[in-house]
Structures are given as C-alpha cells and as structure tokens.
Amino acid sequence: MPPKESFLPRSQWPFEEVLSDEHTRILELTQVYVTRVEPKYTSQLLKFTQKHLPPLEHLEHCKRIKRVTSSETNELVLTAILCLCNHLDLTDLKQLAQQYDITIEPQQIGVPRYAPKNKRQFEEWNPVWPVTYREDPRQDPKWTKDDLDTVEDHMRQLMTTGPTDDDGLNVYARIVDPKTNTVLAQASDTRHKGHPLHHAVMNCIDTIANKERQNKQTTNIDESKRKHLDDDDDDTQAAYLCSGYDAYVTHEPCAMCAMALVHSRIARVFYSVPTETGCLGTLYKIHSHASLNHHYKAFKNLLLDDPARTPFLHFPNPLDA
C-alpha cells in the first residue's frame, strides 16, 4: 500500500494565495430586532414571524434562534430574530405582536451581514450570532512538498533562463501543463519592438494559439467535418486555449493580461513581484470577480526571498506587466 500523501499547511507554502474579497473581509453587522423566548413558546413565535413579519432578506445564513446556556441558572436561554430593523418600525412591530397575542421584548442587535466563506470567518462570526457554514474541501488547494518544489523550479527557471533583451522589459511568462509538467510556451515582453499589446502573458497565449492552428492544419479530416468544426468550435477553441494549465509570470499581470487568462481558461497563476497596476491582488482581483464566468486561483510572492528575484524588483512603475 503506497504511503499517504502529506499536504503542507498554508504557513509552509512558498507563496501567498490571493483570495477574493469575500474570503478576506472582516465581520460586518446588520441590525435586527430580537427577543427572548421561552422554549414552550418557540413554535408559536416562529409561526408569527413567518406569517406576519417581513422575511429576512439576505440573512439566510443566520440561524433564526440562538441557544445559550445561562452561566447563572444553567438553563437554556433562547433568543429569536424577529426582523430587520430597516424593514419594520419598532412601534409597528410591537403592535403586530400585540394584535396576534404574541409576547415579545424586542431589542436591537447586530448579526453577521454575510455568510462565512471559510473556517476563520466562521469561527470569528459564529459567536456573535450562529450562522450556517459548510466547509468546501475544494477551497483549500492541496500541496505536497514535491508539488511546491515543482512550482518553485518553474519560476526559478523562468527568472534565470528567460530570454534576454537589453531593450525590453524584464518580464517573462511561462505556461505549463501541470498533469505532465510540460512547458507549453515561454515568452518575454516585446512591446519595445513596436506593438503595445505584446506583453509577456499575451505572447505566451499567442504561442499556444499558433500551435493549435498548426495542429488543426495538419489534421487530416474531410471537408464536411472541417466545415462543421470551423462553424461550431472556433470560438470555443480560442476561448479554452489554456484550460487546466498553469501560468508563471515574473510580475503581477495587468488588467488586459489577467482578462486574457480568464478567456483562455487558465487554472492557476503564479507570480513573484506585485506591481502598481497589477490586477491579481493590487488594484483588482480579476481572477475571482463574481460577474465573470470563469475564475482561477492566483498566488503571489513566489520565491520571495530567493536571490533570483532580485533583478526583477526594479520594475518601471506604473507600467503594466
């Protein structure tokens, strides 16, 4: 039986994951009215809230009832959320309760505005008011030591064996198939040669695209099948050029490059040096933007203390990488 793989904790990663704002935000509160309720009247109160009070919009993550054992009497104390404060005036709330013969002593408190996205948030927010949380096993990347060594090797190779051009920017990119650890493309920034869009990432993706075109041209298929492919698959092929691949970039990609990586369906991006106009953590977090139909994981500060990184620290900000 092969030995079980050992995954390293985040504290031992040689980089930092660029998490979405949802995963890094601190506790924010929204105001609600609550009341204590005796256990035998819980069902009656809940029916009242469901039938006659405004729904708890956007608070589905908050449990309706908080259960606490009193330290003084050792008895169970139940506190129930009635409604959002901005949905019903306190006077109207009391009148409604009186109308339906419900005894309440409403108080205003703050409860977590958002659902927790990770264990840290859950542990910090749940004591304020109980919230639902289901841990997503896909959320935390699993890295073995060999995995991390491979990632570091790719960036180190990129920094030490990248193409040299005294006139160009010192920015390099590489695209790798992680399943086979095969380098599919490597490129440098060539804007100085006359085209302002020829960033290292764009050149890398273009190399992948050229290889795909060559493969299609050499594939021997009949004309009708070719027409079918041309009609239906060209856009898909272009959009999924880098599906499942990893990108290594010496510097944080700009907005154009970050979006190009979205369109090509990259899986992960590793970069070493943040930039003033970078869009994978500095200005924006394009890789995790909620409105986009593809997201990828981004990791920064790879080889943070490695001497190979030193020549890349002097980047002409605010120029895009």
* In the chain, % of residues over pLDDT 90: 76
Which is higher by pLDDT, 138 or 66?
66
Residue 245's pLDDT is 98
Residue 240's pLDDT is 74
Domain match, 53 and 89 both: yes
Q: Among residues 287, 291, 250, which one has the least CA distance to residue 270? A: 250
In a domain, 224, yes or no: no
Domain match, 45 and 170 both: no
Mean pLDDT over the full length of the chain:
90
Confidence of residue 295 (pLDDT cuts 50, 70, 90): very high
Confidence of residue 69 (pLDDT cuts 50, 70, 90): confident
Residue 315's pLDDT is 78
| CATH number of residue 100's parent domain | 3.30.70
Domain match, 162 and 100 both: no
Domain match, 83 and 42 both: yes
The whole-angstrom separation of Cα 173 and Cα 160 is 12
Domain end marker among 95, 113, 131: 113
Contact 208, 247 (CB under 8 A): no
Concatenate the DSSP letters of all residues of 254-317 into one string: -HHHHHHHHHTT-SEEEEEE--TT-TBTTS-BGGG-TTSS---EEEE-TTTT-GGGGGGS---T
> Mean pLDDT throughout 277-290?
96
Domain match, 144 and 292 both: yes
DSSP H/E element including 156: helix 145-161
Question: 137-194, pLDDT tens digit by residue?
Answer: 777 889 999 999 999 999 999 999 755 556 668 899 999 999 999 999 999 999 988 8
Question: 128-153, pLDDT tens digit by residue?
Answer: 999 999 988 777 889 999 999 999 99
The CA distances from residue 319 to 77, 196, 263, in Å, are 60, 11, 23
The pTM score is 0.82
Burial class (CB in 10 A: 0-12, 13-18, 19+), 91: exposed
Residue 228 has pLDDT above 80, yes or no: no
Question: 200-214, pLDDT tens digit by residue?
Answer: 999 999 999 998 888
Domain match, 280 and 160 both: yes
* In the chain, % of residues over pLDDT 70: 90
> Mean pLDDT throughout 64-90?
92
Domain match, 102 and 206 both: no
The whole-angstrom separation of Cα 187 and Cα 257 is 13
Confidence of residue 17 (pLDDT cuts 50, 70, 90): very high
Least confident of 1-5, 54-58, 302-306: 1-5
Question: 266-278, pLDDT tens digit by residue?
Answer: 999 999 999 999 9
Residue 77 has pLDDT above 80, yes or no: yes
Name every residue whose Cβ is closer than 8 Å to that of residue 124 and which is 6 or more positions away in sequence.
27
Q: Count how many domains the chain has.
A: 2
The whole-angstrom separation of Cα 148 and Cα 156 is 12
Q: Which domain holds residue 270?
A: 12-18+140-217+241-300
Residue 235's pLDDT is 47
**Residue showing tokens 């099948």:** 225
Contact 148, 128 (CB under 8 A): no
Question: 229-263, pLDDT tens digit by residue?
Answer: 455 444 444 447 899 999 999 999 999 999 999 99
Residue type for position 110? G
Residue 1 has pLDDT above 60, yes or no: no
Edge-to-edge order in the sheet of strand 182-188: 16-17, 297-300, 268-273, 246-251, 172-177, 182-188
The 3 state secondary structure assigned to 113-139 is CCCCCCHHHHHHHCCCCCECCCCCCCC
